[in-house]
Amino acid sequence: EGRQEQGYDVVVVGGGPGGSTLAALVAMRGHRVLILEKETFPRYQIGESLLPSTIHGVCRMTGVAEKLAAAGFTPKKGGTFRWGANSEPWTFSFSVSPKIAGATSHAYQVERSKFDNILLEHAVEKGAEVRFRVSVTDVIEDGERVTGVRYTDADGTEHEVRATYVVDASGNGSRLHKRVGGTREYSQFFRSLALFGYFEGGKRLPAPNSGNILSVAFESGWFWYIPLTPDLTSVGAVVRRENADKIQGDPERALMALIDECPLIKEYLSDATRVTEGQYGQLRVRKDYSYHQTTFWRPGLVLIGDAACFVDPVFSSGVHLATYSALLAARSISSSLAGIVSEEAAFTEFEARYRREYGVFYEFLMSFYDMHVDENSYFWSAKKVTRNQHTELESFVELVAGVSSSEFDLDGAESAALRMKSKSAEFVSAIDEMSADAEGNMTPLFRSSAVRQAMQEGAQVQSRAFLGEDLGPDVPMFPGGLITSDDGMLWQPGPA
């Protein structure tokens, strides 16, 4: 017979980056939060290459950024690609100008077992409670509303726990996502399979790019090559669905055959040995089909991270989307619990912003794969607008990373705030300029205004995390929508 217990304000299902970020943010507002996690931490996970927005935006808001900085992860200054018509690898850096080399122009390559554990311990330090080896099996409903969850502990005992809000952060294998309503829709475009493992002694890109992700397109798909430590490299082959037979059968033989198809990766691994023990000892296969749930919330239940949606991993957006959606949902929960805005308004805002950010990456990635066959790419557009001597992609990154790098070259909070505002204005007008050609026609990447708006929002999250109240009042992202509080933790009604 199941045992029942007292309720929480929030029960979070899953202690990955989405779940622990949300738990930390809501606990920081003084609410009672319980995380239910199926595994014991640290545990293995894929998704090792991160973006600056996670490290210097959301993780700064929860306060975990310093712990990450002290953890010794490989700094990632950008990406190196052998992709498209160019037979030579090309590189972008988050701060393409070496003169600036801003303090936030990098992310990390992380061993997810360590990274996720730091985030989860931080959530506990902020006041969240966590239970390991408990598997959530279903939600509890009271009419329209979700009012808690059922879970099974390690002994097989069933429990129920009540909460004002249940957050499904249980990843792509979520058992709860259907309970929000709607369906999980799979993309027709992004349907690949990944086969991956770990190597010791792999080569490194020359400095200063030795911490970069290396992505290499080849006949059957593309490889990632991620330097996790000076000695350890994560290597994965992503093959299109029509090549699925190439990863069938003996995984060792399949991976080696794919490496043989790809001369650059073969060369980088020529002195390396595959790790065969511990958490990195096995070869793994994952479907990386892109999908999104057609609705992200219902009263009492909200989906974040991979439970809600996933997009092709080539631009390392997974952890960014998980932590960003955690921030948006945390604002909705905290504002709703505080009675500042209605639940309906708070979660409508969450869903609109989350969908837009997802849409940006989806569209961005479509263009990226388009570029594979079409020279008229967004990189080319970026180069045209910035009129510099860098590669197309560097031009693009210089533009989109402008707000996240040069303004952190600080000389005092007040002037920094002013500089941020002028930088934001510069950034917005640069995007406007970039989105139209000389005849005023929209270029492919920016055809959707959602893409432009979300790029601006991304810049805002990072600025707000860094400058807090100095940034000045927010403006609604959607007509009639909500704005964020000065500290970024809550929604507020927009100007009447």
Please identify which residue in 45, 336, 377, 462 interacts with ligand FAD, judged by CB under 6 A. Answer: 45
Indicate the DSSP class of residue 245: G
Alpha carbon distance 69, 84 (integer Å): 34
Does 111 help bind ligand FAD (rule: CB under 6 A)?
no
Helix and strand numbers, DSSP H then E, in the chain = 13, 24
Does 67 help bind ligand FAD (rule: CB under 6 A)?
no
Please identify which residue in 8, 29, 34, 49 interacts with ligand FAD, judged by CB under 6 A. Answer: 49
Q: Are 194 and 244 in contact (CB under 8 A)?
A: no
Q: C-beta of 201: minimal distance to ligand FAD in Å?
A: 21
Q: For residue 384, count CB atoms less than 10 angstroms from its CB and return exposed for 0-12, middle for 13-18, buried for 19 or more.
A: middle
List strand residue ranges (DSSP E) for 28-82, in order.
33-36, 74-76, 78-82
Q: Is the dihedral of CA 135, 283, 358, 212 positive or negative?
A: positive
Does 232 help bind ligand FAD (rule: CB under 6 A)?
no
Does 312 help bind ligand FAD (rule: CB under 6 A)?
no
Does 16 help bind ligand FAD (rule: CB under 6 A)?
yes
Please identify which residue in 202, 221, 313, 488 interacts with ligand FAD, judged by CB under 6 A. Answer: 313
Does a cis peptide bond (omega within 30 degrees of 0) precede residue 52?
no
Q: Please, which residue, 234 or 381, has the CB nearer to ligand FAD? A: 234
Alpha carbon distance 455, 428 (integer Å): 9
Q: Please, which residue, 171 or 402, has the CB nearer to ligand FAD? A: 171
Binding mask 424-463 for ligand FAD (x = CB under 6 A): ----------------------------------------
**Neighbour-count burial for 113-148, b at 16+ CB within 10 Å, e otherwise:** ebbbbbbbbbbbebbbebebebbbeebbeeeeebbb
Q: Please, which residue, 49 or 233, has the CB nearer to ligand FAD? A: 49
Please identify which residue in 22, 26, 36, 283 interacts with ligand FAD, judged by CB under 6 A. Answer: 36
Q: C-beta of 158: minimal distance to ligand FAD in Å?
A: 13
Question: Parallel, antiparallel, or unpaired: how do β-strands 273-274 and 284-287 relate?
Answer: unpaired
Alpha carbon distance 484, 493 (integer Å): 9
Using the rule CB under 6 A, give the single segment among 46-54, 87-95, 395-403, 433-441 that binds ligand FAD.
46-54
Q: Are 76 and 109 in contact (CB under 8 A)?
A: yes
Q: Please, which residue, 19 or 227, has the CB nearer to ligand FAD? A: 19
Does 399 help bind ligand FAD (rule: CB under 6 A)?
no
Q: C-beta of 291: minimal distance to ligand FAD in Å?
A: 11
Does 398 help bind ligand FAD (rule: CB under 6 A)?
no
Binding mask 180-199 for ligand FAD (x = CB under 6 A): --------------x-----
Using the rule CB under 6 A, give the single segment among 38-46, 342-350, 369-377, 467-475 that binds ligand FAD.
38-46
Q: Please, which residue, 187 or 388, has the CB nearer to ligand FAD? A: 187
The tokens of 312 are what? Answer: 């092709």
Please identify which residue in 316, 367, 377, 386 interacts with ligand FAD, judged by CB under 6 A. Answer: 316
Does 306 help bind ligand FAD (rule: CB under 6 A)?
yes
Non-local (6+) Cβ contacts of 143 within 8 A are: none
102-107-109 Cα angle (round to 5): 145
Q: Please, which residue, 313 or 494, has the CB nearer to ligand FAD? A: 313
Strand partners, 158: 152
Please identify which residue in 9, 37, 343, 357 interacts with ligand FAD, judged by CB under 6 A. Answer: 37
Does 240 help bind ligand FAD (rule: CB under 6 A)?
no
Alpha carbon distance 352, 349 (integer Å): 5
Q: Please, which residue, 81 or 446, has the CB nearer to ligand FAD? A: 81
Give the footprint of ligand FAD on residues 246-265 (CB under 6 A). Answer: none
CA atoms lying within 13 Å on the CB side of residue 442: 9
Please identify which residue in 10, 11, 15, 215 interacts with ligand FAD, judged by CB under 6 A. Answer: 15
Does 79 help bind ligand FAD (rule: CB under 6 A)?
no
Binding mask 154-183 for ligand FAD (x = CB under 6 A): ---------------xxx-x-x--------
* Angstrom distances, CA of residue 394 to CA of 80, 90, 225, 243: 11, 9, 20, 32
CA atoms lying within 13 Å on the CB side of residue 129: 10
Binding site for ligand FAD (CB under 6 A): 13-19, 36-39, 45-50, 135-136, 169-171, 173, 175, 194, 236, 286, 288, 305-306, 313, 316, 318-320, 322
